[in-house]
Amino acid sequence: MSSVAVDDNDFENEVLKADGLVMVDFWAEWCGPCKTMSPLVDELAGEMGEKIKVVKVNIDSSPESPTKYGVRGIPTFMIFKDGQVVDTRVGGMGKSQLSEWVESVL
């Protein structure tokens, strides 16, 4: 399973009403660290797709969701469970750090 692009219109259904865990990657096209993280996030989605749903929200085209959740810097990663944020990380990281963080929440 790969990551899914989500916008403000489907954020509620894809993230808040989703069964199980959802990791949200808040990003922007102009953000260098976001571009670096994007393939790592996609790899993670492929490897852990059975355990966690991975979605990406472009903050420029969908500003409501990041504003609602207090996103101040990007990339920001949030893990949701049953519609609630259970953990957040801000900034770029290596693939092993990303994987370890997600595993720690599973």
Is residue 34 annotated as part of the catalytic site, yes or no?
yes
Q: What is the pTM of this model?
A: 0.95
pLDDT level of residue 1 (50, 70, 90 thresholds): low
Residue from 22, 23, 34, 54 carrying the catalytic annotation: 34
Q: According to the CATH classification, is domain 4-105 in 3.40.50.2300?
A: no
DSSP string, 69-95: TT--SSSEEEEEETTEEEEEEES---H
If you average pLDDT over every residue of the chain, what do you get? 95
pLDDT level of residue 49 (50, 70, 90 thresholds): confident
Domain ranges for the chain, please list them: 4-105
- The residues, any chain, with a CB within 8 Å of residue 92's CB and separated by 6 or more, are 33, 36, 37, 75
Which residues make beta-bridge pairs with 21?
Answer: 52, 81
Per-residue pLDDT, averaged over 43-58, amounts to 93
What pLDDT, on the 0 to 100 scale, is given for residue 45?
94
pLDDT tens digit sequence for 60-101: 999 999 999 999 999 999 999 999 999 999 999 999 999 999
Structure tokens at 40: 């790592």
Residue from 15, 21, 31, 52 carrying the catalytic annotation: 31
Is residue 5 annotated as part of the catalytic site, yes or no?
no
